[in-house]
Amino acid sequence: MAVKKVLKYGEKSLREPSKEVHKVSKKITELVQDLLDTMYAQNGVGLAAPQIGQNLRVFVIDVSSNNEPLSPMVFINPKIIKKSGGVIVEEGCLSFPEAYANVKRYKNVMVKAMDVHGKTFVTEAKDGSLLARAIQHENDHLDGILFIDHCVNRFEMDSILEQHHLPPVEPDRLLDEPEIENALENKENND
């Protein structure tokens, strides 16, 4: 279809919750293709509809590496139904060009969604894999949550954002994540 403009941090619609998709119509299949085209053009791992200005509960992911064939995954109306553990990982986002920072994520997730044909599926991603982190990252976009809201160090994050000429962290948006904190503490105590 088409490569779309990716909205940058600071655009209001990145903070708005997205609407459920009631039917996988031609409009939705075109949106999916636009997301894939844009994600591949930007060398991304994932892209959510709000990032191209469409506040609908749709995202795409492809975690294949350079020497593997493309393996796109489509998630429509996703819901994370199980999550456990915790990891601290470096993350970036196409809406934050060149800005990377450490964030807290669940180590394991199970998600239920519809594919591009409207069929429901469940997939599980474990061990802090790229897929596990990408599912959480893209799913957050559908709720107006950004990766910086999970940052490990707010002041370090502000410094990184400033270097890339992006607005600072919004302190009231920082997430309190006791489940991840507890999992990280337990891991530390067991190491």
Q: With bands split at pLDDT 50, 70 and 90, how would you rate the model's confidence at 24?
A: very high
Domain boundaries, the chain: 12-190
Q: With bands split at pLDDT 50, 70 and 90, how would you rate the model's confidence at 184?
A: confident
Q: State which H helix or E strand residue 138 sits in.
A: helix 130-141
Instruction: Tell me the CATH class for 12-190.
Output: alpha beta
Q: With bands split at pLDDT 50, 70 and 90, how would you rate the model's confidence at 67?
A: confident
pLDDT for 190:
77
pLDDT for 132:
97
Look up residue 108 and give its amino acid: N
Q: Catalytic annotation on 90? A: no
Beta-sheet pairing, 58-61 with 120-125? unpaired
Percent of the chain whose predicted confidence (pLDDT) is above 90: 91
The predicted model gives 160-179 an average pLDDT of 94
pLDDT exceeds 80 at position 127 = yes
Q: Annotated catalytic residue: which of 11, 30, 138, 179?
A: 138
Q: Round the average pLDDT of the chain to a whole number and report it.
A: 95
pLDDT for 186:
83
Number of residues that make up the chain: 191
Phi and psi, residue 19, nearest 5°: -90, 150
